[in-house]
Amino acid sequence: MSRRIAIASDHAAFVMKSELAEWLRGAGHEVLDLGPANTDSVDYPDYGYALGRAIERGEAETGIALCGSGIGISIAVNRNPAARCALVAEPLSASLAREHNDANVIALGARLIGTEMAKACVTAFLETDFLGDRHVRRVEKLSHPERSPA
By annotation, the residues acting in catalysis are 67, 100
108 with 119: CB under 8 angstroms? no
Distance set, CA 34 to CA 46, 51, 64, 66, 138 (Å): 10, 7, 10, 11, 30
Question: From CA 103, how far away is CA 122, in angstroms rounded?
Answer: 12
C-alpha span between 120 and 97 (Å, rounded): 14
The dihedral region occupied by 3, where left means phi > 0, alpha psi between -120 and 50, and beta the remainder, is beta
